[in-house]
Amino acid sequence: MRMLWFALAVLCLPLSPVHANERVTGLDAGSGHYEFDDPATQQKISVYYYQPSRYDADMPIVLVLHGLRRDAEAYRDSWVEFAEREGLMILAPRFSSETYPGGNGFNLGNVFQATSAEESRGFIQLEQTNPPELWVFTLIERVFADFRTHRSTNHHETYYLYGHGAGAQVAHRFAMFMPESHAEEIIIGAAGWYTMPDETIEWPYGIRGVPMLDTSTIKAYLAQPMLLLAGGADTATLHTVMRQTSLANAQGATRVERTRHYFEFARSRAQRMSTAFNWKHWVLPGVTHSPDQMTPFAARYIALRAR
């Protein structure tokens, strides 16, 4: 089942190296943006990018997922200094609230079909799934394919995926639903809560009732390289958008506790399944719930990993 879902997801968008230069328009150095005409959704997707001044075809690619405010441009801007210094090509697609409404449409990946405003908030289990080409996760893959095919020549067949806040929620669910993606490694920064790989808990807090997450998919997800980051000073529980429901609170009181709980549960699950576990969990001292504070670390980590 896993291979069938993935084949449907990537559709007809090859990731093979570009051989015909005329297919590549090229991007200007520095900050910019372009519109990607997504063939799956028939929507225009704004992609904000930063191309370092010394860009070449061997430069690593980082896809950056914005937060709750859908502020892809601001997230791109937070990477500019560090992308230039570390030599990273940055792509930050914007997931509009019109195409991907509410928490269900963005944070939860648009896997399930919401038919009302209440359902779009992403607090309850939904019955009908969307086809994979409508998922947030598959759009990430299509943005990457379009970049390599039409925007700039690049020899890398993989990318690094980074998400902070709501983007981190997307990123860890991306790992779950797309374990055979082209992501080299996934960096998850300060997610407010998690979908646990636990069949005894219903979606979105667990995976009960999610037909495509079978045993082989979960094994591949646990084996995928992933770095979980939490800010050591990201401990606010009042005046925050962090979800406060009984099942979310069961994961811990703060983002630090919830991230540790998610990591430890996944590691235990991998041991029980006798499968590989390639995750890391780090707490960054003094870092609050600020993408600007976490970005320098993430950029340096990716640059070192890509060498």
Task: State pLDDT tens for residues 241-294.
Answer: 889 999 999 999 999 999 999 999 999 999 999 999 999 999 999 999 999 999
Its pTM stands at 0.92
SS3 178: coil
The whole-angstrom separation of Cα 224 and Cα 9 is 19
The whole-angstrom separation of Cα 34 and Cα 48 is 7
**258-268: per-residue pLDDT in tens?**
999 999 999 99
pLDDT of residue 269: 98
Strand partners, 38: 43
pLDDT of residue 12: 37
**Where is 187: in which H helix or E strand?**
strand 183-189
Contact 304, 249 (CB under 8 A): no
Residue 32 has pLDDT above 50, yes or no: yes
Residue with the larger pLDDT of the pair 238 and 224 = 224
The whole-angstrom separation of Cα 218 and Cα 240 is 31
CB burial of residue 121 (10 Å; 0-12, 13-18, 19+): middle
pLDDT of residue 164: 97
Phi–psi pair at 8, nearest 5 degrees: -65, -35
Of the candidates 62, 66, 111, 64, the one whose C-alpha atom is nearest the C-alpha of residue 89 is 62
Percentage of the chain beyond pLDDT 90 is 88
Total residues belonging to the chain: 307
**118-168: per-residue pLDDT in tens?**
999 999 889 899 999 999 999 999 999 999 999 999 999 999 999 999 999
The average confidence (pLDDT) of the chain is 92
SS3 189: strand
The whole-angstrom separation of Cα 120 and Cα 135 is 14
The whole-angstrom separation of Cα 41 and Cα 68 is 21
For residue 235, what are its two tokens?
């401990």
**2-28: per-residue pLDDT in tens?**
433 443 444 334 444 434 334 566 899
**Where is 3: in which H helix or E strand?**
helix 2-10
The torsion region of residue 286 among left (phi > 0), alpha (psi -120 to 50) and beta comes to left
Residue 169 has pLDDT above 70, yes or no: yes
Bridge-based pairing of strands 89-93 and 226-231 is unpaired
Percentage of the chain beyond pLDDT 70 is 92
